[in-house]
Amino acid sequence: MSLRQGLLLASALLACGIAGVTLLAPGDPVPAFTLPGLAGPAMTVPTRGRPVLLNYWASWCGPCLDELPLLSAFAAQQGPGGVQVVGIALDDRAQAEAFVRQRPLGFPSLSEAPGEHDSSVRLGNHRAVLPYSVLIGADGRQLRSHSGAFRDAEDLRNWAEIR
């Protein structure tokens, strides 16, 4: 089964309500989880005390690749108390590692096997859309999510603004 077929199957199972995954909604606390790093150590997210933007991507996803430079620029603009950008590759680990070696990102990126129970699904990505972004407040609560790529830097900034 290809990765794409696996994502479509997970989406269909969730749409039918048989996967048994608890989906979080805006305002819900996000339980911490640890994933291996692609070009660094494993990392636990979300971190308390600082807002976190989780961005789910894959090396085969064209819109994801178009969006990564926007996220890198956004991450570079954030100070120590600003939004921490963390990428999560829902991809074959070797392919994601090769991609990050060729095209370093300006933020930490982690690896997770895609499927019906991956963290993007638990955070509301029940249609298995990539890219998929989730904004988590400094208090660890999910603020909002975004399916698909951001149009431009202003679109990303407006969405990530903590209100």
Task: Identify the pLDDT of residue 16.
Answer: 42
Task: Specify the length of the chain in residues.
Answer: 163
Predicted confidence (pLDDT) per residue in 4-54, tens digit: 545 444 454 444 443 566 788 899 999 999 999 998 899 999 988 999 999
Q: What angle do CA 20, 131, 81 make, to 5 degrees?
A: 95
Q: Where are the domains of the chain?
A: 3-160
Residue pLDDT, tens place only, 102-138: 999 999 999 999 999 999 999 999 899 999 999 999 9
Question: CATH number of the domain at 3-160, please?
Answer: 3.40.30.10
Kindly report the pTM of this predicted structure. 0.86
Q: How many C-beta atoms lie closer than 10 Å to residue 150's C-beta?
A: 22
Q: What is the DSSP letter of 109?
A: E
pLDDT tens sequence across 63-96: 999 999 999 999 999 988 899 999 999 999 999 9
- 12, 17, 61, 108, 119 from 35: Cα distances, Å: 25, 26, 21, 11, 10
Which one has a higher pLDDT value, 150 or 39?
150
Tokens 């904004």 belong to 135
